[in-house]
């Protein structure tokens, strides 16, 4: 209060005017700043939300498109393969068969039986492509080994898998989705990477299960994955992203520290175990 008492009375008017003006300026400045700051934050959040919605829309479209493609493939298989086979059986087993001699009848029945067996096999294969029986009956490890065995059979690339801690199976929906993700990853590696080997490992911690896939070809990093995923062409990557998201899991694309390998890590929550 000494300052106030010591102020020259003639200067008081100026001090009060300047003080009041300064305080008001600060107060108005603060209010204006907060209004603009809040507007900025809200618009930023709005943009973020719009981007998220766009991404979800793209994922939904990818999912619908992939379902449609699957349906078209099944329809084409049924129409092009099962349809002609059954039509041929119908030809063999027509009404005139009873008027023919016994040898011809037996031959026709034998042929029809052969075609029916082929049709059964065809339908079984189609069913297997929807849910691999090895996966359903024996689990992810067997299904992956089965897939790698087929790849090794081609002789162009070496594929191996090692499951370190897989005493208990995962829930079927997890196994199926992870298997589909792995199929897509392997398929991409075969198509684009020119790798000479693929190696897959599985590990478990208290919180998560980790599935890692290494290869020595041309791969991609997380940034490239996110960039490609958000383009209209990255259908497979969108499917991977949506499957991983549904499972409440994470996927990480990275280059090995030695710059020799690319690796993809899938982190699955531990509650996926049966």
Residues that bind other proteins (CB under 8 A): 1, 4-5, 7, 9-10, 12-13, 15-17, 19-20, 23-24, 26-28, 30-31, 34-35, 37-39, 41-42, 45-46, 49
Least distance CB 12 / other proteins (angstroms): 5
Least distance CB 195 / other proteins (angstroms): 43
Nearest CB to other proteins, comparing residues 31 and 131: 31
The CA-CA-CA angle for residues 166, 170, 176, to 5°, reads 115
Nearest CB to other proteins, comparing residues 40 and 192: 40
| Residue showing tokens 């479209």 | 61
- Phi, psi (rounded to 5 degrees) for 35: -60, -50
Least distance CB 56 / other proteins (angstroms): 14
Nearest CB to other proteins, comparing residues 15 and 109: 15
The CA-CA-CA angle for residues 202, 70, 267, to 5°, reads 20
Least distance CB 241 / other proteins (angstroms): 22
Least distance CB 31 / other proteins (angstroms): 5
Nearest CB to other proteins, comparing residues 26 and 106: 26
Strand partners, 152: none
Nearest CB to other proteins, comparing residues 43 and 110: 43
Strand partners, 160: 199
Q: Which two tokens stand for residue 95?
A: 């009404």
Q: Which two tokens stand for residue 164?
A: 């370190």
Nearest CB to other proteins, comparing residues 3 and 96: 3
In this structure, what DSSP letter does residue 208 have? E
Of how many residues is the chain composed?
274
Least distance CB 5 / other proteins (angstroms): 6
Least distance CB 172 / other proteins (angstroms): 34
Q: Which two tokens stand for residue 98?
A: 């009873």
Going through the chain in order, the beta strands assigned E by DSSP cover 158-163, 197-204, 208-215, 250-255, 262-269
Nearest CB to other proteins, comparing residues 49 and 192: 49
Residue 44 half-sphere exposure toward CB, CA atoms < 13 A: 6
């Amino acid at each position: 209060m000494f300052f106030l008492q010591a102020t020259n009375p003639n200067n008081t008017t100026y001090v009060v005017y300047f003080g009041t003006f300064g305080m008001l300026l600060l107060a108005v400045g603060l209010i204006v700043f907060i209004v603009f700051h809040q507007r900025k934050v809200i618009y930023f959040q709005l943009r973020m939300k719009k981007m998220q919605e766009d991404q979800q829309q793209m994922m939904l479209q990818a999912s619908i498109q992939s379902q449609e493609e699957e349906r078209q493939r099944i329809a084409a298989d049924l129409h092009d393969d099962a349809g002609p086979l059954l039509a041929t059986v119908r030809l063999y087993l027509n009404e005139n068969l009873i008027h023919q001699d016994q040898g011809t009848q037996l031959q026709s029945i034998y042929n029809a039986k052969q075609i029916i067996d082929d049709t059964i096999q065809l339908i079984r294969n189609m069913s297997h492509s929807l849910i691999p029986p090895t996966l359903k009956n024996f689990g992810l490890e067997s299904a992956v080994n089965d897939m790698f065995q087929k790849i090794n059979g081609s002789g162009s690339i070496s594929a191996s898998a090692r499951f370190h801690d897989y005493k208990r199976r995962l829930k079927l929906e997890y196994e199926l989705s992870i298997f589909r993700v792995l199929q897509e990853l392997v398929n991409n590696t075969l198509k684009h990477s020119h790798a000479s080997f693929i190696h897959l490992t599985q590990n478990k911690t208290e919180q998560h299960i980790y599935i890692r896939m290494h290869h020595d070809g041309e791969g991609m990093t997380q940034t490239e994955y996110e960039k490609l995923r958000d383009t209209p062409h990255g259908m497979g990557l969108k499917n991977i992203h949506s499957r991983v998201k549904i499972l409440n899991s994470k996927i990480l694309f990275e280059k090995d520290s030695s710059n020799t390998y690319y690796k993809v890590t899938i982190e699955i929550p531990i509650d996926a175990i049966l």
